[in-house]
Amino acid sequence: MKIPFNFDKKEIILDIPDKNLLATLEANSIKIEKSEAELVSDSIHKPIASDRLKDIVKKGEKIAIITSDITRPMPSSKVLPFVLEELEKAGIPDEDITIVFALGNHRPHTRDEMILLVGNTIFDRIRCVDSNGKMVHLGTTAMGTPVDIFEIVANADRRICLGNIEYHYFAGYSGGSKAIMPGVSTREAIQSNHSRMVEPTSKAGKIDGNAVRQDIDSVLNFISIDFIVNVVLNEHKQIVFCVSGDPVLAHREGCRFLDTLYGITIPQQADIAVVSPGGFPKDINLYQAQKALDNAKNAVKPGGAILWIASAKEGLGEKHFEEWMLGHDTPDEMISHIQSEFVLGGHKAAAIALVMKNAEIFLYSDLNADFVKRIHMNPVTDPQTTLNELIDRYGPEAKVVAMPFGGSTLPILKS
């Protein structure tokens, strides 16, 4: 069977023999009867456990709209017009609104990237800034995480958080309060929160009792989120579901929908997984593409192989991640290091090391082959040839799981 995998902004077709193909993990079939605009509009007009946004904000208040940065697929330009319409109905002038891009631990944007995220009309109309300025300390969570928030967000009268909901490899799900923590928080705060990724409750698809998510949501004890708009995207990055309103209850409704769409049951683990994050922007660097690799580990039996298709045209994507990937001789060293000293950035290297303990990784990317070897992976020049060789390695009955949208789909082993 010929299966397309996205690589940056293009498509790669791999031919996987039918007898070897165990499963192709794509979104479960759902019937969507409304357009993207209708889904967003209806959600904002009928929020969950909340008043309408136009009835929450008051004229004279300063409004901060927090939305995702360039590394996330959140379609801000599609959602923002409906949010701004609500604010306009409440009498809020444009000069009292600031759109804040939640950088978390990522690099700042160029002007062109900001325009790409919100569109020319909104960029010319509303002040847009990155969350990389002065921070305000508001307290410390019960888990010891400092609540240090970007000044414009902390000092706003009202905060509106936008985001997309997908599986997150240790926070359970993205979206909700994650726009604040880690979105507009300090590196120290993010590092403290993410240090709990090593706890067994911190894993994809788990939200109740998840230590990282509990810490994220506890930030609401120190700073309010007045309204959220969170979307779920299909594999073509189109909006198929939208929730608005309360930052916890609306978010959880979105998570439940995500499970019906992207929680995919597989009958057994395969010898080989072929995985792509889904192309740009999810494979802009290896730091972002790692999430798809982490999902793929659930599809492969011990001693198997993962063919990882990710452009990573911007390289590894984070300084400490690069230091850890290049600064350890073996995956075991990375795992031991993170257990003795948690370092933000290093945490993703350790997560990759845990995958390496279970399966051999073959990387098809825009990275130099020698560099790929230095980060303990096998460089691939032709993914079809590598796949054929892996099938030969595991024998004529070798089983392959294809994950064209690995950043979204979560393999769940049948009980």
Could you tell me the pTM of the whole model?
Answer: 0.82
Measured torsion, CA atoms of residues 313, 378, 274, 413, in degrees rounded to the nearest 10: -120
pLDDT of residue 345: 86
Question: What is residue 392's predicted lDDT score, i.e. its pLDDT?
Answer: 98
Lowest-confidence range among 95-99, 246-250, 319-323?
Answer: 319-323
Would you state the torsion angle of the CA atoms of residues 182, 187, 193, 199, taken in this order, to the nearest 10 degrees? 120
Query: How confident is the model over 153-168, as pLDDT tens digits?
Result: 999 999 999 999 999 9
Distance CA(366)–CA(355), nearest Å, equals 21
How much is the pLDDT for 196? 87
- Residue carrying the six token digits 């009955």: 397
- Rounded distance, CA 57 to CA 48, Å? 17
* Residues 167, 148, 152: CA angle, nearest 5 degrees: 95
Q: Which residues contact 408 (CB under 8 A, 6 or more apart)?
A: 27, 166, 167, 233, 235, 262, 278
Pairing of strands 158-164, 239-245: unpaired
d(CA 245, CA 236): 26
Residue range 355-377, pLDDT digits in tens: 999 999 999 999 999 999 999 99
Classify residue 35 as exposed, middle or buried by CB count within 10 Å of its CB (0-12, 13-18, 19+): exposed
Q: Which three-class secondary structure state does DSSP give residue 153? A: helix
| Domains of the chain in sequence order | 2-27+267-413 (3.90.226.30), 36-261 (3.40.50.11440)
193: pLDDT confidence band, cut at 50, 70 and 90?
A: very high
Question: Positive or negative, the Cα torsion across 209, 215, 218, 224?
Answer: negative
Residue 281's identity, in one-letter code, is P
Q: Which two tokens stand for residue 344?
A: 């933000």
Express as a percent the part of the chain with pLDDT over 90: 87
pLDDT digits (tens, 9 = 90+) for 300-346: 999 999 999 999 999 999 899 999 999 999 999 998 898 788 888 89
| 305 within 8 A of 391, measured Cβ to Cβ | no
Q: Which residues contact 350 (CB under 8 A, 6 or more apart)?
A: 324, 334, 335, 337, 338
